[in-house]
């Protein structure tokens, strides 16, 4: 398969993730959509590593994975703390920065 096939799959996955962030109102699903976008980018990094024959793509995927893990931990902690104070996590109703 040519490199553009992998890149188009990656672009479509990224688009799905972006649409998820735009249309869904549940912060957990928005978070999953962000994960989807990160993984779409990982796929294009892997495709470039394979077709340009350079190891930098793998290193970037590793770093993105680590950043995604850290992001999940902090983001879920924030969502849980919002849920504890508000009992409700619909993003349309979270219009105040101060609880």
Partner 1 sequence: MTFEQVSFFVLAAVALASGLGVILFRNAVYSMLSLILNLLSLAFFFLMLNGMFIATIQVLIYAGAVMVLFLFVVTMLTSDNASVGGRDRLRWQWGAGFFLAVIFAGSLSLALLQGSVARDACSFDPQGCLAAQVAKNGNTETFGLALFHAYSFPFEVTSVLLVIAVLGAVVLGQRALRAGREAPLEQNGATERETEEVANAR
In the range 31-50, which residues lie near partner 1 by CB under 8 A?
A: 31-33, 35-36, 39, 42-43, 46-47, 49-50
Find out whether 39 and 51 touch, Cβ atoms under 8 Å: no
Cα gap 41→94, rounded to integer Å: 30
Q: Could you say which DSSP state residue 97 is in?
A: S
In the range 49-68, which residues lie near partner 1 by CB under 8 A?
A: 49-56, 58-59, 61-63, 65-68
Distances (CA, A) of 90 to 59, 82, 83, 87, 94: 37, 10, 10, 10, 7
Find out whether 32 and 21 touch, Cβ atoms under 8 Å: no
CB of residue 28 to partner 1, shortest distance in Å: 5
Q: How many residues bind partner 1 (CB under 8 A)?
A: 73
CB of residue 96 to partner 1, shortest distance in Å: 15
In the range 80-99, which residues lie near partner 1 by CB under 8 A?
A: 80-81, 83-85, 87-90, 92, 99
CB of residue 19 to partner 1, shortest distance in Å: 5
């Amino acid at each position: 398969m040519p490199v553009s096939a992998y890149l188009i799959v990656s672009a479509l996955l990224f688009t799905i993730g972006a649409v998820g962030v735009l249309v869904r109102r549940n912060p957990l699903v928005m978070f999953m959509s962000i994960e989807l976008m990160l993984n779409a980018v990982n796929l294009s990094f892997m495709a470039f590593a394979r077709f340009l024959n350079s190891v930098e793509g793998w290193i970037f995927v590793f770093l993105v994975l680590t950043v995604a893990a850290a992001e999940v931990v902090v983001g879920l902690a924030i969502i849980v703390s919002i849920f504890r104070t508000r009992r409700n996590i619909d993003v349309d109703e979270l219009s105040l920065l101060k609880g």
